Structures are given as C-alpha cells and as structure tokens.
C-alpha cells in the first residue's frame, strides 16, 4: 500500500464473512472510478450486534486474505483489528490522512444500503470531506435512488455508469459522492451465516477457498 497520489478505494465492513457481493462492489468501483487499489478494512465487531455465532477478527481476516489472494490490486488491512476498540470510519480516514493520503485520492466504498444511513454516522457531515464516497448499487438499493433519498446531499452527487478514469474530476472542487450504478450479486453475510448454520452449500455466495475455510473451521455453527 503506497501513498502516491493514485486513487485508492477503501472498503470497510465486518466481513463476517467476506462474500462475492463485496468483491463485485470493489470491482465496480475500480472500473467506474479508475481506482489503482482497494484496501479492505475489517472492523472490530460492534459490541451491540452479538446475537448469533460469529467469527473472530482472526478468522474474518484469514477469510479476506484467502478471498483476495489472486487479486493483486485488492489488499487487506489489519488497522482496525489492531486498534484496541471498535473504530469509527471517520477516525480510520483521519489516520489515512496522517499516513499521507489525501482526501481527494481516497474513495470510501459503500453499498447504497449503508450509504442511505450516512446522516447517522459519526462525524457527519464532516466525514463527507474526508474522502470521496463511491456508492455502489446493491440488489434492492439502486445507487440512482440516492438523490431522492438524500436530497440535502444531491449537489455533491455525481453518477458513474460504465468505465471512467477521470478521477481528476474531484479536483475541480472538493470530495464528491460518486454513484456507481452496477449489478452486484444478491448476497449478504447474514445469508451466508444462515446457510452455514443450516449446513447448506455456500457455492455462488463466497469464493471457494472461503467456503472450504468455513467448513473446515466449523464457523457459524
Ligand atoms: P451483514 O449481512 O452482516 O450486514 P453485509 O453483507 O451487509 O453483512 P457488510 O460487511 O455489512 O456485509 O458490508 C460492508 C460493505 O459492503 C457495506 O457498505 C455494504 O453495503 C457493502 N455490500 C455488502 N454486500 C454488497 C452487495 N451484494 N452489493 C453491494 N455492496 C455490498
Ligand atoms: Mg451489512
């Protein structure tokens, strides 16, 4: 991971476990915005959502490493797992600034479901100036629906369809909210955990190496 001025994607999440939807969202953001790399940052589990069998940070990291092994532009970061407590996205972005990344070169990738809640995030609205946002459609949550859902942010939004590498567009002003209209598989970690618990196959939902890992380590039982 370098801090040259190339555009870099950041994909935060619990990744419990990583699945093909995450990889497709990162691919779509890369294609639409010409990203040089995507850094996947697994979070500490937020303590309030512990109601079912879940994987430790070690297992979540291992599954990400397996999922990204043959994708040289995709990297996994231990930054949030090494921190002593669960970390806000705004804190992670500020740490990247301290590591010499520029707000204009950072693209925080989220699904449209997650971004719809942006007004509840810590450090909103200042967080919008800490990075560009690359908001990718998720089945049932089209990115194109966001200007209507979040009218107060409409002026900061720009639509991306197909390919485009003129990430310099952000240089004209400040950071932007890039709406990436793409088709990603209808997969969630919740559904993967449900199937693993029921002993059902996971093919088509997670990379094969991740499926084997979940079976071998009896995760989510
Ligand atoms: P859970 O069901 O446990 O909430 P999840 O599948 O939503 O898991 P997260 O780790 O919560 O996965 O998601 C991390 C980020 O990836 C979020 O911004 C989310 O919107 C995005 N994302 C997850 N699945 C998809 C998908 N199929 N298409 C597009 N974006 C996705
Ligand atoms: Mg989620």
How far does residue 13's CA lie from ligand 2's centre (Å)? 7
Ligand 1 pocket: which residues have CB below 6 Å?
13-16, 21-22, 25, 110-111, 113-114, 136, 138, 184-185, 187-190
218 dihedral zone (left: phi>0; alpha: psi -120 to 50; beta): left
Long-range (24+ apart) CB contacts under 8 A made by 190-195 are 192/17, 192/19, 192/220, 193/16, 193/17, 193/52, 193/53, 193/54, 193/220
Using most ligand atoms within 8 A of CB, pick from 15, 20, 22, 144 the residue to mutate for ligand 1: 22
| Of 85, 89, 92, 11, the residue nearest 47 (C-alpha) | 85
Nearest residue (CA) to ligand 1, atom 28: 138
Contact in structure between 108 and 131 (CB atoms under 8 Å): yes
Residue 166: what pLDDT? 54
| Of 218, 220, 205, 209, the residue nearest 22 (C-alpha) | 205
Q: Can you tell me which atom of ligand 1 is nearest the CA of 184?
A: 28
Nearest residue (CA) to ligand 1, atom 30: 111
How many CB atoms neighbour CB 153 within 10 A? 17
Using most ligand atoms within 8 A of CB, pick from 114, 116, 145 the residue to mutate for ligand 1: 114
How far does residue 57's CA lie from ligand 2's centre (Å)? 16
Instruction: Provide the residue-wise pLDDT of the chain in tens; the chain has 221 residues.
Output: 656 789 999 999 999 999 999 999 999 999 999 999 999 999 987 555 555 669 999 999 999 999 999 999 999 999 999 987 888 999 999 999 999 999 999 999 999 999 999 999 999 999 999 999 999 999 999 999 999 999 999 999 999 876 655 554 444 579 999 999 999 999 999 999 999 999 999 999 999 999 999 999 999 99
How far does residue 33's CA lie from ligand 2's centre (Å)? 23
85-116 in b/e burial notation, b at 16+ Cβ within 10 A?
eebebbebbbebeeeebebbbbbbbbbbebbb
How far does residue 185's CA lie from ligand 1's centre (Å)? 11
R_g (Cα) of the chain, nearest Å: 17
**CA separation for the pair 62, 42 (Å, rounded):** 11
How far does residue 109's CA lie from ligand 2's centre (Å)? 13
**CA separation for the pair 127, 31 (Å, rounded):** 24
How far does residue 6's CA lie from ligand 2's centre (Å)? 28
Strand-by-strand arrangement of the 106-111 sheet = 74-76, 37-42, 8-13, 106-111, 132-136, 177-180, 157-160
């Amino acid at each position: 991971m370098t801090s040259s001025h190339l555009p870099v994607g950041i994909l935060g999440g619990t990744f419990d476990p990583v699945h093909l939807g995450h990889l497709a969202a990162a691919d779509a953001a890369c294609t639409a915005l010409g990203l040089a790399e995507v850094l996947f940052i697994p979070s500490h589990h937020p303590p309030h959502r512990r109601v079912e069998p879940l994987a430790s940070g070690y297992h979540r990291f291992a599954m990400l490493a397996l999922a990204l092994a043959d994708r040289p532009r995709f990297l996994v970061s231990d930054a949030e797992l090494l921190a002593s407590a669960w970390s806000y996205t705004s804190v992670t972005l500020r740490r990247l600034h301290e590591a010499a990344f520029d707000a204009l070169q950072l693209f925080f990738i989220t699904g449209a479901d997650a971004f719809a809640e942006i007004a509840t995030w810590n450090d909103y609205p200042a967080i919008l100036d800490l990075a560009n946002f690359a908001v990718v459609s998720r089945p049932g949550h089209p990115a194109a629906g966001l200007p209507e859902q979040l009218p107060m942010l409409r002026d900061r939004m720009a639509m991306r369809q197909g390919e485009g590498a003129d990430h310099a567009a952000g240089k004209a002003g400040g950071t932007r909210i890039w709406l990436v209209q793409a088709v990603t598989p209808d997969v969630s970690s919740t559904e993967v955990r449900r199937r693993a618990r029921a002993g059902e196959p996971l093919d088509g939902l997670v990379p094969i190496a991740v499926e084997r890992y979940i079976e071998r380590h009896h995760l989510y039982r």
